[in-house]
Amino acid sequence: MSEKGILAVVSGFSGAGKGTLMKALLKKYEERYALSISATTRQPREGEVHGREYFFLTQEEFQQMIREDALIEHACYVKNYYGTPKQYVFDQMAAGKDVILEIEIQGALKVKEKFPDTLLLFVTPPSAKELEARLVGRGTETEDVIRDRLARAAEEAEYMDQYDYILVNDVLDDCVEQMHQLIQDQHQRVSENGAFISAMKQELKELVSSV
Ligand code: 5GP
């Protein structure tokens, strides 16, 4: 149906498994999706590469992007800035790819405000205890950071009901399929099919007037 790509935002508590989910989705449906790469002022974690996980910028470089209006949205999360570069998202959507932004809640709500057709998905583990276990098990963060992130999760839970769908990330493959289905269903939305609807109206008028 619609030719333009869908804009989908995926948020969820730090430790909900969003990263793994995104990787699995992109691996399975490589042709369908483009994952936006954010800019951030946080330090790279071990194994992260500039231009792959993030564009790692200095405060000054990040401020420069804001001044140039090069970000769709930006937000501060646990003492660092994160933002979504505009150009890539718009180019990929125009090329027909469904674009996924994996961003936190403040940013997600800003994107929805600017682009109301955005699909907001919230990924959560089955329980709070499971969230804590995953954060500890990841082994990449200090105790302080884990405490900060759990506190942040408690704040973020207040906003869950502003999302369109909740995805419980228990069995990874099931969650990937649910996410794929929800995004693909958006292509059938009336708001994504203006050109099709206009063409149908026009053809019907022509048919009626020719009989
Ligand atoms: P992390 O430091 O664990 O990679 O990311 C921390 C949080 O920042 C995550 O919730 C992630 O989704 C969010 N995030 C990543 N990129 C962006 C972005 O471009 N904008 C916003 N608002 N949040 C982002």
Q: In the prediction, which pLDDT does 178 show? A: 97
Q: Which of the listed residues 41, 103, 105, 155 should we mutate to test ligand 1's pocket, taking the one with most ligand atoms within 8 A of CB?
A: 103
Q: What is the mean pLDDT of residues 88-101?
A: 96
Q: In the prediction, which pLDDT does 1 show? A: 56
The residue whose CA has the least distance to atom 17 of ligand 1 is: 103
Structure tokens at 147: 């405490």
CB 44 within 8 A of CB 83: no
Phi-psi bin for 84: left (phi > 0), alpha (psi -120 to 50), beta? beta
Q: In the prediction, which pLDDT does 207 show? A: 96
Q: In the prediction, which pLDDT does 139 show? A: 78
**The sheet that has 71-77: what strands, in order across it?**
54-56, 38-40, 80-85, 71-77
Query: pLDDT digit string (tens) for 142-197?
Result: 889 888 889 989 999 999 999 999 999 999 999 999 999 999 999 999 989 999 99
Given a cut of 90, whether residue 111 has pLDDT beyond it is yes
Three-state DSSP at 90 gives: helix
Q: In the prediction, which pLDDT does 15 show? A: 83
SS3 of 106-117: the string is: HHHHHHHHHCCC
What gap in Å lies between CA 66 and CA 79, rounded to an integer?
17
CB 10 within 8 A of CB 165: no
What gap in Å lies between CA 107 and CA 101, rounded to an integer?
10
Three-state DSSP at 161 gives: helix
Amino acid symbol at 68: E
Given a cut of 60, whether residue 128 has pLDDT beyond it is yes
Structure tokens at 160: 């869950």
Query: pLDDT digit string (tens) for 136-157?
Result: 887 777 889 888 889 989 999 9
CB 147 within 8 A of CB 39: no
Distance (angstroms) between ligand 1 centre and the Cα of 92 equals 20
Q: Other CB atoms closer than 10 Å to residue 42's CB: what's the count?
A: 15
Query: pLDDT digit string (tens) for 30-78?
Result: 999 999 999 999 999 999 999 999 999 999 999 999 999 999 999 998 8
Amino acid symbol at 91: D
What gap in Å lies between CA 209 and CA 146, rounded to an integer?
68
What gap in Å lies between CA 167 and CA 122, rounded to an integer?
6
Q: pTM of the entire structure? A: 0.89
Distance (angstroms) between ligand 1 centre and the Cα of 204 equals 48
Q: In the prediction, which pLDDT does 2 show? A: 60
What gap in Å lies between CA 8 and CA 29, rounded to an integer?
15
Distance (angstroms) between ligand 1 centre and the Cα of 2 equals 29
**Ligand 1 pocket residue status of 153, Cβ below 6 Å:** no
Give alpha helix (H) positions in the chain: 18-28, 59-67, 86-94, 105-114, 128-138, 143-156, 172-185, 194-210
Q: In the prediction, which pLDDT does 91 show? A: 95
Given a cut of 90, whether residue 135 has pLDDT beyond it is no
